[in-house]
Amino acid sequence: MQETSVGLIGFGSIGRAIIDSWSRAPIRNHRIQAVLVRSHQVEDAKDALGKGVVVTTDIFEFLCVRPCLVIEAAGHTAVTQHAADVLKAGAKFVILSAGALANDPFREDILALAARSGGQIVIPVGAIAGIDGLLALRRLGLSHVRYTSTKPPVSWRGTVAEQQFDLDSLTKPTTIFRGNAAEAAHFFPKNANLAATVAVAGLGFRDTEVELVADPSAPGNSGRIEASGAGSRLEVTVAGEQSASNPKTSSITGLSVLSYLENETNCLSLR
């Protein structure tokens, strides 16, 4: 079987987790050939990846290796900055920062570009269970979808929640946001990517209800999907440890990409 050439955008906490896990258990028939990093990450990335992998800060040098598949692990800005170039190159773009797709004109533009160029946009779903059931309910006729994300207060530091709540003084579970998935993606771009994934699989960004909760007793991050329609109901909760280097995300987030690569399942394909 021909080897699949892989590029990785991002060398922060999630990007490093992907590289570390890949080093321990390489993905069969796949090879990382290039990593796009920020300027201050170049030397660390070269040390971690060794010879034979292009480490660069330039998207065009990155794409010169002709990756068949590009993994984004660098945030909303990376998606909006690089999606067009990746798709024009005909590559499959695997997006972890799904909240970037809440921007309707941007989403429509890159979907149209993917259709013209032969590229593809994929969202791994291994970090949240229940997406398959949600997709099935959507075919039957969804009437309501609600996603609740509960995390310790430290996870909400550096967000707009700090302007409204004294996160360090909370003594009980506190709702810090209630609105739709589009609003959650806008106000909490680093915390609401799973909410965005649920929105893509279900009723869309405007009609997916989202509640974000700071809970001082929470041992980690959890996400709960509640959906109903056509006489059926779906309720599923996934809980996991926070990433040691980034409490805003779960440790399983990066691994969901590797699960997708190993099995070519556990993903949403946008066309």
pLDDT tens column, 154-196:
999 999 999 999 999 999 999 999 999 999 999 999 899 999 9
Examine the domain organization and report whether 95 and 142 are in the same domain.
Answer: no
User: In this structure, what CATH number is given to the domain that contains residue 207?
Assistant: 3.30.360.10
Examine the domain organization and report whether 58 and 151 are in the same domain.
Answer: no
Q: Is residue 171 part of a domain?
A: yes
Domain total of the chain: 2
Examine the domain organization and report whether 96 and 135 are in the same domain.
Answer: no
Examine the domain organization and report whether 75 and 145 are in the same domain.
Answer: no
Examine the domain organization and report whether 89 and 120 are in the same domain.
Answer: yes
User: In this structure, what CATH number is given to the domain that contains residue 58?
Assistant: 3.40.50.720
pLDDT digits (tens, 9 = 90+) for 10-38: 999 899 999 999 989 889 999 999 999 99
Examine the domain organization and report whether 194 and 111 are in the same domain.
Answer: no
Q: Is residue 246 part of a domain?
A: no
pTM for this prediction: 0.89
Q: How far apart are CA 63 and CA 81, in angstroms?
A: 14
Q: Is residue 84 part of a domain?
A: yes
What's the pLDDT at 113? 94
Strand bridging mode 120-124 / 92-95: parallel
Provide the CB-side half-sphere exposure for 155 (13 A, CA). 30
Task: Specify which residues 270 forms β-bridges with.
Answer: 121
Judging by beta carbons within 10 Å of its beta carbon (0-12, 13-18, 19+), is residue 123 exposed, middle or buried? buried
Residues of the chain with pLDDT below 50 are none
Examine the domain organization and report whether 198 and 256 are in the same domain.
Answer: no
For the chain, how many helices (H) and strands (E)? 10, 12
Examine the domain organization and report whether 95 and 141 are in the same domain.
Answer: no
Examine the domain organization and report whether 135 and 234 are in the same domain.
Answer: yes
Domain housing 102: 4-127+252-270
Examine the domain organization and report whether 61 and 116 are in the same domain.
Answer: yes
